[in-house]
Structure 1
Amino acid sequence: MSLPDLGRLGFGAAGIGNLYRAMDDDVAAATLGAAWDAGIRYFDTAPHYGLGLSERRLGAVLAAKPRWEFVISTKVGRILEPAANPDGARDSEGFDVPADTVRRWDPSEAGIRRSIEDSLDRLGLETIDIAYLHDPDVYDLDAGITQALPALEKLRAEGLVRAIGVGANSADALAACIRGADLDLVMLAGRYTLLEQPAAADLLPLCAERGVGVANVGVYNSGLLARPVVPETANYNYAPAPADILAKARALAACCADYGVELPTAALQFAANHPVVRTVVVGATSPAQITQTAERMAEPVPAALWDELARRGLTAGGPDRA
C-alpha cells in the first residue's frame, strides 16, 4: 500500500501528554493549533503518552479539522487498563499524570485490535492512518515479530489502517522487523541524527531495498542539539551527556556557525534529507516552539555545509549519500 504524504515535518504528541511536566489543556490545544497553522498535517501519538492523555487532547483538536486534510498515527503493543490509585500516585514512566491506569504489553492479535479500538475511542475518530508497534525490543522482540506484526498486516489487509510500521530506538530491532514482515515504514528514534548515524550502516540501505519509509524522530538527541549554543551540561539518550559527546556537539555547532546556520536548523534538515526519510517528527510544548521549528525546517541551508561536516569527520557523509 502506498504511504500517505506525511510532509517534511510532523508533530510528535508526547509533550502534550504531559511528558516530564504538566501542561494545561488550553496550551496543548494552542500548540496543536500553531502546528496546523505552520502547515503540519502529520500527527503522531500513542497510548503510552500520558496514559491516553495525548490521544484525547489530539483528538479534541483534530475533531474540528477536515479528516482528509491530516494524517494520524498511533501505536499498539501497550494496552491501558484501569488501576486502583487510592494514594494519588503519579505515573512512573515520565508523564505527569495520575497513575490511574497501567500499561500492559500484549502483542496478540486480540491485544492489537483492542489497542486500536481503544485509541479510536480516545481520539474520537473513525479511522487511523498508520499503526506502529511500539518499542517491541523493550518487551519481547520475537513476540512482536511473530505475533503483533502479522496482526497489523491483517488489519491493513482489512482496510482498518492504511499503513503499518514499528517504532523503536534500536536500528537493529527495526531491521529485524523489516526482515520479518511487510512494513510500510519505521519510526526511528535518535539513530540517524546530525550527531550520529548508526542507522546508515544497515537499516537505511535495507529500507531503500525494501521500499520502507522512515519517520525520523529524536533528531535533537534528547535536546543536545536543540539550542544554537551547546550548554555546559545536557542530556544525551535520556542521561547526562559525557564529555566527548558534548565536545562533538560543540564542534558541530561551530561548523554550522561558519556557514551561518544554527545547530538546531542543521539538525532538523540533516535528519530530513536522507532519501528514505519521509518526515521528521518533532514535539513541542508551546505554540512558539513549534512555530520556530517549522521556520527552521524552511530556512535555506547551503549544501556545502553537509560536505564540510563530512570533511571534518563530524558526520558519515552528506544527508543524501550517507
Structure 2
Amino acid sequence: MRADRLLSLLLLLQNRGRMTAPELAAELEVSVRTVYRDIEALGAAGVPVRADRGPEGGYRLVDGYRTRLTGLTDAEATSLFLTGAPGPARDLGLGAVLATARLKLEAALPAELAEQARRVRDRFHLDAPAWFRDADPVPYLEPIARAVWEQRVLRAHYRRWGGEVRRELRPLGIVLKGGIWYLVAMAEAEAVRTYRIARFLAVEATGEVFERPGGFGLAAYWEESARRLEAALHRGTALLRISPRAQRLLPMRFGAVGVRALDGAGAPDAEGWVRVELPVETEAVAVGDLLALGTDAEVLGPPELRRAVAEAVAVLAGRYAP
C-alpha cells in the first residue's frame, strides 16, 4: 500500500540521513520515478523534505524534524521474529511488513543503539537455502501460512510418493529446513504429520476454525520427528578407513552424521588415514554414497557391504577398460 511505502520512505530519511533517489528506490523495491512521486506526496503532506543537488546530493529531512510514528502494528511486531531471514519473510508475504517494522524499531532506538543495530545488519546475513540447489517453488506458501496463523482448516490436494491424495488438514506450523518449506499438520485420526509444501497441488481454506492440541510444541515435534527420520534412514553402520582428504569431505558429503563419525575416529596411522564408523542407509544407497569418496576410502565392514562395493567397482572397471 502507498501509505505504508510513504511511511517507510520517511523513516529511511529519518534513520539514515541523506539518501539519493536510486538508493531509496532500491530499499523500497520501486522505480526511481515512484520515489519522485512519493517525495512530492510527503512535501504536500507537510513533511519538510529537502533536495540537495550535486555529486553529494540527495534527499534529507530538515534538521531537527523527527516523526513519532514508531508504534508497531500486530503484523509488524510478529514479523520481527524473521528479522534475520529476509528471504523467508518475503516468501511468507511479510517482506514489506518486516522492512517497515525494522525501520520503526530503528527510529525508536537511541542513536548509539541504532548505529549498533545497523552494524550488525551490515556484518551478518542469514542465507537459508542450501548450496547448489534451486529453492522449491511454493505457490501455496502464503495461504498455508495464513491458515496456520488463523487456525483454519485446509482442504488440500497433495502429491506423495504413492500418488495423489485429497484430505482436510489442521495446520499447526511451518518449518524451513535447508531451504525447503514444510507444513506440520493434523490429518485423519488426529495424527500429526509433516508435508513438503512444494508438493501441494492445491489448497483451499474451508473457513472452519479448529482448536490446537494442548501441549503441542512445534520445535519439540520437529526435533523428535528429525530423530525418528534419521533412525529410520540409517539402518546400518559402515566401518571405513579414510584418507586425510576424505576426512575433510565427510562432513560435506554426510552432514552431521559425518561430523559425528569423525568425532569418534581412531588414531591416524603413519599415512594419516583413520578408521570411522559411519551410519548408512540401505545397502544400495550406501554403495553409491561410499563410491563418491573414490580412492580416499576403503570399506572394512560389514562383509556384505564391502562385497557390494567391490562388485560395483568391478563393474565400473569392466565398463571403462580399453
Place the TM-score, normalised by the shorter chain, in its bin. Answer: under 0.3
Instruction: Please give the TM-score of this superposition, normalised by the length of structure 2.
Output: 0.23
What is the TM-score with the length of structure 1 in the denominator?
A: 0.23
Computing the radius of gyration from Cα coordinates, the structure with the larger value is 2
Q: Higher helix fraction: Structure 1 or Structure 2?
A: 2
